[in-house]
Structure 1
Amino acid sequence: MIRITGIILGIFLCGFEAYAFRHGPSSAGMQNAAEELQKVRVINESWQAYWGDFYEPQDLRSLETRKPDGWVKLDNLNPASAPSNPEGLRHGTFRTQLAVDPKAGPYGVYIPVLRGASKVWINDKLYISEGVPGSSADAETPKMKVNVIKIAPESSILDIVVHHSSYNFFLMGNYMPMKYGPYDKIDEWRDGAILRDVFVLSSVLIMAFYHFALYLLRTQRKEPLFFGIFCMALMVITSVRGEGTLLFHFFENPNTILFYRFDFIAFPVAVGVMFYYCRLLYPEQIWAWLVKTILSFSAIFFAVVAFAPTYYAELALMPYQLSAVLGGFTLLFLLGKAVRKKEEGSLLFCLGFAAILVGSINDILSIQGVIDTIVISHMSLFTFILLQSILLSKRFSKAFAMLEVARAEIRELNAGLEKKVEDRTKTIRMILDHVQSGFLLVDQTLSIQPGFTKSCSVILGQDVKAGTNFLSLFDINDRDRVNMQMSMEQVFDDIFPEEVSIGQIKNRQPIGDRQILLQMAVIRDENDQVKWLLITVNDATHTVKMEKEAKLSQTLLKILQSQVNFKSLLRESLRDLEQAKNLVDQEGQKDIRILLHTLKGNFAAYGLDDIAHQIHKMEDSPTLTADHLDELIASIHQFLEAHSDILHIDPGSLDEKVYRLFDNDFSTLQEQLEANGASQALLNLCSSWIDKAKKVSFSDLVGPINKNTLRIAKQVGKDIEFVMEGGEEPIDPERLQYVVHSLIHLIRNSIDHGIEEAYERGDKSETGHIRIKVWRESNRFHIDVGDDGRGIDPEIIKKVAMSKDLINEEQAAEMSREDILKLIFRPGFSTRDEVSALSGRGVGMSALEEAVLELGGKINIETEKGAGTTFHISVPEETGAMEMAA
């Protein structure tokens, strides 16, 4: 900071030293030393003033009676305060004489802008005529321009006469010093002044563009915008009032009034913006009322300049300059507070503002004629820009340091982030590799994209690879493949809504004997175009199987409800298929296809989808053969055989007639026989026939117990073989239905408690066996239900019964083995601590015993540890036999 302060002071000292070096007296008739005549000097005093008249040079030499009104300094002359102008005239003739060395070559006289209108003669020759000087505002035509006069003096004196009027301005004369000297020196000084102004303007322009760009990048901060405006205002002031007076130099016929208005407008803009900018930078130090006051004065002066004549604008300039200077000193004091608080950049900014303030005060006092000095605004402005550049450099340096720290932190964060991403990717990959569903992407060509889940290969049963055509994974014929391809391509065409297009795609596809469920979702790119199809893959084989079983149940129920019609359909279908074997030649193909198409619709109506699908595939064959028809006949027979326990349809007896009778039909028959006096023998015969007609086989009454047994075994994960003997025995369903229907409890208990797990069966087969045997003997109906499981342990039964308070210790001690085993029929007895889907409630065995005893029957239990258990159920066939047994 000390070095920077020294540089600033050095610049100012150099400026004043240059002034002292160039400044010298120029009174008429005064002779200077030869070396002084070779320098550029300032014309700043000793002008003879002739107020109120315009005299040409020859007139002045012939005038003997008119003496000069006095001597004046023409620089920034205030005619109202000139001692020699008591009437306050604003026009007149002014004359001075300069000493020169005629042997030194051509001389140059620099005439800056003269306010108002002017004419200039040198040694009786008119060189300058700017505007029309007049004795009033109406008579005056103002025009101002910078001029450099080149002259080869013939004597040692330059006699300069000036006609000058200034009724459109408050002041008269030149606002910058006139200069003279050797022409090459004047020309060199003029070029240097222009270059210095251009250099300063370039620096200010760069600073302005930089801050405007900074504002555009960060619009939320207003400081760069106002500093850029401040710089632009300084550019206008420098271009008009700078040492090189650039605007007057570059324009041949400048608009004088317009230039002055630009200059005067830029001044309050620069002052007001600078104060507001400082307030934004240091809001805690800069008083708000100070900024508002300066902004108010600036607005008033701006309005005067914009709308009032230039005379009043120049008249208002002095008080406004005074307010700006006083405000500047106050602002400098407040900036000092920011420096003491060590606000960032405050010291350099304070020094730069001090330079601007000193330069402004110097120029104001010089223009008002208070001091005799040179314009140093360009030096103070350059100093301010230099300090701002140093401040920006420091901020850039700090920003770069922070940037390096930030980069290091970012690198560290990136490393950590990459590690997190890698870990997260591994986690996601692990999840995707172990998820049960498969996920994959396909593009518009239906090619599988990289990144599919590992489960895809497991579910699809093949090695899935990126780039594989998705449709090639499935076992579908050419027609279905084309249909599916067109449906998927329609999704990518994006013509219809996603739901509609995806809904056209068959969501279940076969692979071998399995069914694959496909769920699709659209993924779009940034242009909202369909980029991929996300396909979720699941094995739906079990679901399809369950659906088929449910559908089969509905099919069997439908057949049972229309058994007569169904048998008729079977009879006619099998007959027509046998006859069609004789039509397999070329001429009969059409008739066979008509037959098959009819059969496909008939079987589909009953829900026999597998047979209908088989016929559908047969229709795709180019030629139908007898083998095709035999396969279809075999499929029909297989269906009937697989469900014979429910349908009881024998393909060989389809021609038999089946009739339906209701219970009241039998009652009506007996009543009519008795009413018509039928013999007792006939009545007995009819009664015997009715009893026989009412009976059904044990298999029909017990239902699909074989399938139920295997289903229950599968639920608990046990492999069991079920065997039933004597299922064709006819029984009275009304009498024995409760006993027969309760047998399922014995089956459940055998599966849940009796049959061991495969690893527990020892030398026995891993497959457990459950059997039911039915027979008649001695007017009694016998049912045996047994298994080859672990058997029943009487001690365990006794302990469980005691724990459930079914018996006490004394009762247990007196009970026989048979009595202990029959404890399992007690309500609430169960060896399970928890209720399962199969057993544990303690009500099933009790219900079975109650049903048997109600019919006068009995139940015996035979069990052997490790060999199994058999339940013997015996029920009287007739009510009379039951009474006799009782």
Structure 2
Amino acid sequence: MRKVRGLYAGTEKTTIQRQLEQAQRRSEAVERRRELADVRNAELKHHADRLEREVADRTRDVRTILDNVSFGFLLVGADSRVVGDYSKSCHALLASTELAGRPLAEVLGAGTSRQRIMLEAGIDQVFEDIMPEELSLGQLPSRYVLGARTLSISGAAVRDDAGAVYRILVTISDITELETAQREMRHHRLLVNILRQKEWFRILLAEFFSQLGAARAAIALGDQVTVRRAVHTIKGNMATCGLDAIAKTAHEIEENDAILEPHLALLESAAREFLTENADVLGFLSEGAQSFQVTEERVSGLEHIIERFPEAMQKDAKRWLAETKLVPFQRLMGPFIQLAKGLSERLEKPAEFTVSGEDTLVDALTTAPIIAVLPHLVRNAFDHGLEQPDERGEKPSLGHIGLHIAEGINDWHVAVSDDGRGIRAADVAARAVAMGILDAEAAAAMPDADKMQLIFEDRLSTASETTEISGRGVGMGAVLAAVRQAGGDVTVESVPGEGTTIRMLIPKPAVLNVARGLSGQPGRYVARESVQ
């Protein structure tokens, strides 16, 4: 009864009313949460829009940069193909409008199978990720010629979250102008060096044509040993003076089973082309002509006049005339310091190279053939003589190679020495037996001095592999041939573990075989150069 009165009086709430009120409150709470969610969604959308704009702006900036840099950037996958997007400059650098999906070797113009194999093997090695990253990337070929362009490429490994390589970022640059500038700089430096050492280059040029003539005569006689000796000497001399293109041609010619007239014509053409292109600078040159204070024609005229002198006066007059032709060895020796520096760097053998007695007066015509083959001895001293720094034991890590010139009463003395590993006479003989140069019985009966002389045999080389430096065993034969042609002789002195000295005696012309004041005595002058 009370509940009924309460309902009428409104003093008590029914269950339905309470449920309705709770539903109302829940509805209001939901509405408030919805409104809050809308506000937050609006804020998130605004934030997302702002981030998208920032990303778009940054992407546009990056794309603008990539589209305007001279370098090319592209990604390569594990299949060696270009993946995805790349910088706009790639179109111009690679002369192609579509790169995606194409093999990188094809894109770079790796025309030969060897180039393709090396590039693809290098990419595989990077993705295998077994070796250190820097080492693997360093194995990738870095220079490509594509049409008129020369391109340089470098790679960087791109890793995923797990640290595995999944892309290679390739950077491409056009180095055509750089290489052109470098070639021009080398060429200008070459011409400057020639102008600084005119007499030496004149002798070298005369020796070049003399060796060509000797090689042609040897071809006619079927004497390939002499032909190879001449070409090898040409190669060494051209490399010494910086004519690398001619030296490379000579090296390639040596690869043939037989060297024939067309090969020699190729060498001669290359030399004459160099002389023609640089005639304005090298106007002082002529094939084989020597430079004196007076012309050779006038010297020849003086010789004819002297022949009409009374016999008692002729001897002194002829000697005086011969002495006017003497020049300091320094003017004829060429860039031996530069040669030593280059060999030291290429072979990674730090050494001090010294020249003593370079003020010695010599007869250019007599000594020119010997001077032309001296680079063989310097190369052998570096390549075969000196050890690597960590192989020199108690000796100083800095090696020493010396060139010494002195004058005797009747001859000139020239020696090249090193403080390297030395030569064992028994090893030379064993090598000669192995090469079929002599039989074991003859080798066993030889005294050590004769065994040492075997190093001058053609085909005998102690180098483990043929290179542009160590050659094919014909260099030492060229040395002996040049000295013997001048009427001189060569001896070898060597102590295993201490070093080797090769001594050459070059007879003077008979007219000079009289007592006179001697120049270039040992110890008078020493030029030292550290070629570390």
The normalised TM-score by structure 1 is 0.28
The structure having more radius of gyration, on CA atoms, is: 1
Name the structure, 1 or 2, with higher relative contact order (CA <8 Å, separation 6+).
2
The normalised TM-score by structure 2 is 0.44
